[in-house]
Amino acid sequence: MKYKRTLGYLVGAIMAGGLIVTTLTACQSTKSEVIDNQKSINIKAADKAALEYMKAYIELDNKKMNELHINEYEFLKEYNVTYPGASDKLNGRYELFRYDLEEGSNEFYYKARYYHPGTGGKSSVELKMIKDKKDGKWKNYGWAWGDTHNLESIVGDKKPIQVHKWEGERE
C-alpha cells in the first residue's frame, strides 16, 4: 500500500515536471517567433524606405529626401524637384542590395544601382538606413553617406541580400 502511494506521488511529480518543461519550451518558441516576426516587419519597412529614398534621390526631390533623412538638409535651394517624374520611368531598371550586419534590428546598409532616366546613364547610391527614435520611421543616416564612407570596408566579405533584381535591358 505504501509503495502504491509513493509510486503515485512519483508519477504525479514526473507528469507535472513534463508539463512545466513543455510549457516553458512552448513559451520560448513563441518568444523567438515574435522576435523573428518583428525583424521581418523591420526589414520590409527598411527595404521600402531605402527604395523610396532611391527614387527621391533620382528625382532630387528636396521634400521627400528630407522626410527620409535623420537630419534636414538644404539640397538645391532653387529647385524643389530637379528631375520630376524620373523615378516613374525606372521600369524596374535597378538593383537593390541589403547588408544585414546583425548589429541590431534598427540598422541596415544598402547599395542601389540604377538607370537614371533624367541623365540617361547608370548610377548608384549607398545608404545607411536607421530607425528614427523620434517617430519610428526608417531614414537615411546622412546626405551623401556613401561618398563619405566606404561601404565595402564596413560590410567586409558579408554577402548582400538582393531585395530587387534588375528588370529589362541594361543601358
What average pLDDT does range 142-153 have in this prediction?
Answer: 77
Q: According to the model, what pLDDT value does residue 171 have?
A: 67
pLDDT above 60: residue 143 = yes
For 27-55, b where at least 16 C-beta lie within 10 A, e where not — what string? eeeeeeeeeeeeeeebbeebbebbbbbbb
pLDDT above 90: residue 95 = yes
What lies within 8 Å, CB to CB, of 163 at 6+ separation is: 47, 50, 51, 96, 97, 98, 110
Q: According to the model, what pLDDT value does residue 29 have?
A: 53
Residue 77's pLDDT band, with cuts at 50, 70 and 90, is: low
**Contact in structure between 112 and 95 (CB atoms under 8 Å):** yes
Residue 155's pLDDT band, with cuts at 50, 70 and 90, is: confident
Residue 127's pLDDT band, with cuts at 50, 70 and 90, is: very high
What average pLDDT does range 136-141 have in this prediction?
Answer: 92
Q: According to the model, what pLDDT value does residue 74 have?
A: 72
What average pLDDT does range 95-109 have in this prediction?
Answer: 86
C-beta neighbour count of 125 within 10 angstroms:
20
Least confident stretch, 69-73, 76-80, 111-115: 76-80
Strand pairing of 121-131 and 107-116?
A: antiparallel
Q: According to the model, what pLDDT value does residue 14 have?
A: 78
- In Å, how far are 1, 73, 131 from 70, measured between CA atoms? 76, 10, 9
Q: CA dihedral in degrees (141, 147, 153, 158; nearest 10)?
A: 60
Q: According to the model, what pLDDT value does residue 23 have?
A: 61
Handedness of CA 27, 28, 30, 34 (dihedral sign): positive
Residue 79's pLDDT band, with cuts at 50, 70 and 90, is: low
